[in-house]
Amino acid sequence: MLIDRARIHVKAGSGGDGCTSFYRDRRVRKGKPNGGDGGSGGDVVFAADRNIHTLLDFKYNRHHSAQRGGHGGSNNKKGKRGESLFIRVPVGTVITESGTGLLLRDLAREGESVIVARGGVGGKGNTKHRPGTAGAEGEGKELELELKLIADVGIVGYPNAGKSTFISRVSRAKSKIGNYAFTTKAPILGIVRFDECEAVFADMPGLISGAHRGRGLGDEFLRHIERTRVLIHMVDIAQLEGRSAHEDYDSINGELSLYKRSLARKPQVIACNKIDISGSRENFSRFCDKIGKSAYPVSALTGEGIDKLLEAVFRCLSGQT
């Protein structure tokens, strides 16, 4: 099960109190102030880590606090700084403040981090301030975490190639995730299981006709496709629409590289869809000869060849191509 939302409470450490103390000996009767400052409290920091995949832990673990600062001591001894609390979250976690809905950060990249609650500053010892002061309270916040699912696999291809049909066949409708208000232009996500593995697939619509210029497609789209690890390039091999399959194939690849060069370099598994339609077999052989690469003949409608395709995709995901 993938949990994609969590509400948690974070509390940064309060500052340690400043110390009030006096140096006394036989000669210094009145006593000289020598209380040290309190240490500052630790921050609560979120960091994106690609080894974390869900927000599941937060469902059972709602309270997260950083250490408080140590109190100051006599002899001008400064209190110890409280240790910051580092919380690892999946890449793609969006953090907002509950209530206000204020966006604190979208942790979109591996290693990116943000301080969500600041530790209180330590109080002043009476050396500097009479009398010594108490440490400031650490920030406390109620946070909303939302994991925008990151697709492992993006499905690209011409309109009507069969992308939607394919994703609804291979992903379990039941495991569809979240209440994301996807517009028609945003990718449709589905979780696909194969053997013991699981991956998020995204149907990437509209990747032609000026998509690379961003026309009508938001950054959202680009971000999703950029984050995928493998692309399924779906080609309509029935060719009933009067275009040739390899031209479709070339123009989608051209579009990808115009959009961003790195997209064109992503590993692609080529799926020739609608193999159930007569004439498709012949088109398929011709297509493979023409592009000089291997491709998978499939029918998103009948299910033919789908397992072999998924096997190839998951092999590619696990890096053993």
Would you count residue 84 as binding ligand GDP (CB under 6 A)? no
Of the pair 94, 301, the CB lying nearest ligand GDP is at 301
Would you count residue 276 as binding ligand GDP (CB under 6 A)? yes
What 3-state class would DSSP assign to 239?
A: coil
Would you count residue 159 as binding ligand GDP (CB under 6 A)? yes
- H helices of the chain, where? 56-60, 163-170, 219-227, 245-259, 261-264, 280-291, 306-317
Query: Residue 50 and residue 52: Cα distance in Å, rounded?
Result: 5
Partner from Mg ion, ligand GDP, none contacting 16, C-beta within 5 to 8 A by type: none
Query: Residue 85 and residue 64: Cα distance in Å, rounded?
Result: 8
Would you count residue 239 as binding ligand GDP (CB under 6 A)? no
The contact mask relative to Mg ion for 148-167 (x = CB under 5 A, - = no) is: ----------------x---
Of the pair 106, 276, the CB lying nearest ligand GDP is at 276
Partner from Mg ion, ligand GDP, none contacting 145, C-beta within 5 to 8 A by type: none
Size of the site for ligand GDP (CB under 6 A): 15
| Structural contact between residues 85 and 42, judged by C-beta atoms closer than 8 angstroms | yes
What 3-state class would DSSP assign to 94?
A: strand
Would you count residue 233 as binding ligand GDP (CB under 6 A)? no
| Structural contact between residues 112 and 48, judged by C-beta atoms closer than 8 angstroms | yes
Would you count residue 163 as binding ligand GDP (CB under 6 A)? yes
Query: Residue 206 and residue 263: Cα distance in Å, rounded?
Result: 15
**Which residue number is nearest to Mg ion in terms of Cβ?**
164
SS (H, E, C) 193-210: EECCEEEEEEECCCCCCC
Would you count residue 162 as binding ligand GDP (CB under 6 A)? yes
Q: Which of 60, 49, 88 is nearest to 1 (CA)?
A: 60
**Residue 11: phi, psi to the nearest 5?**
-140, 120
Q: How far is CA 117 from the centre of its chain?
A: 21
Of the pair 99, 242, the CB lying nearest ligand GDP is at 242
Q: How far is CA 102 from the centre of its chain?
A: 19
The one-letter amino acid code at 48 reads: A
Residues 6+ positions from 191 with CB-CB distance below 8 Å: 2, 171, 172, 175, 176, 177, 198, 199, 200, 201
Of the pair 90, 162, the CB lying nearest Mg ion is at 162
CB of 157 to ligand GDP, least distance (A): 6
Partner from Mg ion, ligand GDP, none contacting 274, C-beta within 5 to 8 A by type: ligand GDP
Of the pair 161, 200, the CB lying nearest ligand GDP is at 161
How do beta strands 296-297 and 268-273 pair?
Answer: parallel
Would you count residue 168 as binding Mg ion (CB under 5 A)? no
Among residue numbers 119 through 158, which ones bind ligand GDP (CB under 6 A)? 157
Tokens standing for residue 226: 């950029």
Size of the site for Mg ion (CB under 5 A): 1
CB of 158 to ligand GDP, least distance (A): 7
Contact stretch for ligand GDP (CB under 6 A) within 100-108, 138-146, 214-222, 272-280: 272-280
Would you count residue 113 as binding Mg ion (CB under 5 A)? no
Query: Residue 94 and residue 96: Cα distance in Å, rounded?
Result: 7
CB of 299 to ligand GDP, least distance (A): 4
Partner from ligand GDP, Mg ion, none contacting 162, C-beta within 5 to 8 A by type: ligand GDP
Cβ atoms within 10 Å, residue 170: 23
Residues at the contact surface with Mg ion, assessed by CB under 5 A: 164
Residues at the contact surface with ligand GDP, assessed by CB under 6 A: 157, 159-165, 273-274, 276-277, 299-301
